[in-house]
Amino acid sequence: MRGQTFRSIGKGVGIVLALLVFGLGILLFLAVDWSIDFFGEITIDEIIFHLKVPLQGTDQNTILDFIIRCLIPALMGMFLLALLYLLPRWERRWREKRVQKGLTTLCVVVQGGKHREIRRGLTLIPALPVWIVWLIALVSSGCGLIHACQRYPIIEYIEMQSQNSTWIEEEYVDPDASLLTFPEEKRNLIYIYLESMEASYMSEEDGGFFEEDLIPELTELARENLHFSSLAGTLRGAAQIENTGWTIAGMFAQTAGLPLKMPIDRNTMGEYSSFFPGVTSLGELLEAEGYHNYLMIGSDAVFGGRANYFTQHGNYTIYDYYWALENGKIPEDYYVFWGFEDWRLFEMAKEQLLQIAEQEEPFNFTMLTVDTHFPDGYICPLCQSEHNTSYENALSCSSRQVASFVQWVQQQDFYEDTTIVIAGDHLTMAAEFVETMPEDAERSTYHVIINAAATPVNTENRTFTTLDMFPTTLAALGVEIEGDRLALGTDLFSERETLAEEYGLDVMNQELMRKSEFYNRKLMYGS
């Protein structure tokens, strides 16, 4: 009796596992297509990173879309397979109970030498053997894995991770304070990260890929101020390389001069005592020189590890969605898109900057916009219906708001001693919108430097990446950099070649895709 009980339990556990394998196969198959439709061609490193860091603060629409398109169909598939397995058994038990109670009779007939039971008035449902359930489950998971390998370079990623590269170790320049000479009169810094902002949105005349300039105010800012171009006569900007293509990775690249890599065989970021303790960032270097660092964003700073990074690397004071709630800056329970919209962000920034500027210490005030986030952007009361798509309208609206904010800053007393850097955090992931650009388009992120304290040697025909913004920002503040290079970034004000110019973007991307024991040991864990 006990052996029969154990067998029944074992069979039940086996069926549950088979159903889970079946459901995971469906989920993987659907999630691959969903991720590409929703995010575009994201990298495996980005997927791994977001699986390991806190997802608190994720856009609710993104989660809902994933549940509807992926999770619910997977659960329905599991439910249907479970019914196919269980219904015949439930029917048999029901039939046996009716026979025992005398409510029906059985006929036993012989067909081909085999006995077959027939219940009068109802055809028997054929039972699904356990091995068939497992076969269906394995086929489902196999199809999911094959589909994932077809849509993502998983095999290539595994091969790259099996090869240790010394390239990062050989090219890395430790951003030690001894390499920097700050001016006696330190300048303030306002650094504005623009969500998914590309130079690609400009007209073809300025190096973009649209007949009509979608961001004319930002284009004008780039024309009138300092801008480094990858092609003479245009306003094309920085190339995006491996492991810099999402928000925290883009911010990390521009403040630490490094790609954001996370080995798949490590623990989650939430379990780390610190965020990349071996890295020295812009915030830390400024803090050591008496700066006070601030970060203002319209979403939850915890998302993607942003709070950990900026508090642990520069002791930033953070103004985010929950700060705005707690301080009455937005109505109670207010929540739109990722938190609150950009027009509120700029109004709060003005208020805080006026207070901060009254202090004696220099400041680094960093902002991150959100209204141009994929897939369609956010249309606020300031936006206009001037283009065919919501995303294009959101881009144009952002352009106007940023230009207006810059004009406000330029009217303040503290502007004379303040440098403004405006940069796209990464290329857009709005997949449908990207399809409107040429397939071979050399897309680049937007940037402009306003009121810099240095003069560049050359601003045109520079092949550079967002990593180069790290030392370039310091140089814009009047800081002299011995060797003109920090981390993997090069000071664009100098005449030194960037790593992209020295090696080419293809070589850089290949090397950054490979495993780096130095990166993992020295930078990620600080050992």
Mean pLDDT across 201-209? 95
For the cut 70, the answer to whether the pLDDT of residue 266 exceeds it is no
Residue 376 per-residue DSSP state: T
Q: Give the count of beta carbons closer than 10 Å to the beta carbon of residue 150.
A: 10
513 pLDDT above the threshold of 70: yes
- Token reading at 230: 């990858």
pLDDT for 34 beyond 90 = no
Write out pLDDT tens, residues 168-195: 999 999 999 999 999 999 999 999 999 9
Could you tell me which residues are beta bridge partners of residue 115? Answer: 110
Exposure of 50 in the CB half-sphere (CA atoms within 13 A): 17
pLDDT band at 426 (very low <50, low <70, confident <90, very high): very high
Answer whether residue 474 shows pLDDT above 50. yes
Beta-carbon contacts of residue 13 (< 8 Å; ≥ 6 apart): none
pLDDT above 90 covers what percent of the chain? 60
User: Chain centroid to CA 419: how far?
Assistant: 28
User: What SS3 class is residue 343?
Assistant: helix
Determine the average pLDDT of the residues in 89-96: 65
* Stretch among 40-44, 151-155, 173-177 having the lowest mean pLDDT: 40-44
- Reading the block at residue 252, the tokens are 């990390």
Q: Is residue 239's pLDDT more than 50?
A: yes
Structure tokens at 481: 């950099």
The residue written with tokens 């919108």 in the block is: 433
Model confidence at 55, pLDDT cuts 50, 70, 90, reads low
The share of the chain scoring above pLDDT 70, in percent, equals 83
Contact 304, 283 (CB under 8 A): no
What predicted TM-score, i.e. pTM, was given to this entire model? 0.81
DSSP 260: -
Is there a contact between 155 and 40 (Cβ–Cβ < 8 Å)? no
Report the largest interatomic distance among the alpha carbons of the chain, rounded to a whole angstrom: 103
Least confident of 81-95, 331-345, 460-474: 81-95
Half-sphere exposure of 342 (CA within 13 A, CB side): 29
Q: Which is it for strands 114-119 and 317-319: parallel, antiparallel or unpaired?
A: unpaired
- Does the pLDDT at position 29 exceed 60? yes
By DSSP bridging, strand 188-194 and strand 363-368 are: parallel
Beta bridge mates, 422: 192, 448
Helices (H), 424-481: 431-434, 469-476
Residues of the chain with CATH 3.40.720.10: 183-502
Per-residue buried b or exposed e for 363-391, using 16+ beta carbons within 10 Å of the residue's own CB: bbbbbbbbbbbbbbbbbbeebeeeeeebb
Question: Which residue would you say has higher pLDDT here, 412 or 302?
Answer: 412
Q: How confident is residue 471, by pLDDT bands cut at 50, 70 and 90?
A: very high
Tokens of 184: 């006696």
Q: What is the pLDDT of residue 8?
A: 64
Give the mean pLDDT of 154-161: 70
For residue 66, the model assigns a pLDDT of 78
Closest CA to 493 of 426, 409, 421: 421
Structural fold of domain 183-502: Alkaline Phosphatase, subunit A (3.40.720)
Q: How many CB atoms lie within 10 A of CB 403?
A: 18
Per-residue pLDDT for 257 more than 50?
A: yes
Residues in Cβ contact with 72 at an 8 Å cutoff, skipping those fewer than 6 apart? none
Residue 148's pLDDT is: 78
Give me 497's structure tokens: 């070649």
Tokens of 333: 């329970």
Tell me: the pLDDT tens digits for 316-343? 999 999 999 999 999 998 999 989 999 9
Q: Has residue 44 got a pLDDT over 60? A: yes
Tokens 């030498």 label which residue? 113
What does pLDDT average to over the chain?
Answer: 86
Q: Is pLDDT of 442 > 70?
A: yes
Strand 180-181 relative to strand 114-119, pairing: unpaired
Tell me which of 165 and 95 has the higher pLDDT.
165
> Three-state DSSP class for 497?
coil
pLDDT at 99 over 90: no
- pLDDT, average across residues 246-251: 94
